[in-house]
Amino acid sequence: MGAAMSDEILLRTSDMPWINFGAGIDYKILRTSAETGAWTVLFRCAKGSSFAPHRHYGAGEYFMFKGAMEYRMGGAKAGDYGYEPLGVFHEHTEFIEDSELWFTNYGPIAFVNPDGSVAMLLDWKFFADQQAAAQGAAASRKAA
Which positions touch Zn ion (CB under 5 A)?
90
Q: Which is nearer to Zn ion, 90 or 125 (CB)?
A: 90
Tally of CA atoms within 13 A in the half-sphere of 111 that contains its CB: 11
Whole-number minimum distance, CB 19 to Zn ion, in Å?
19
Whole-number minimum distance, CB 56 to Zn ion, in Å?
6
Q: Which is nearer to Zn ion, 22 or 136 (CB)?
A: 22
Q: Is 55 left (phi over 0), alpha (psi -120 to 50) or beta?
A: beta
Are the C-beta atoms of residues 101 and 93 closer than 8 Å to each other? no
Q: Which is nearer to Zn ion, 70 or 134 (CB)?
A: 70
Whole-number minimum distance, CB 72 to Zn ion, in Å?
8
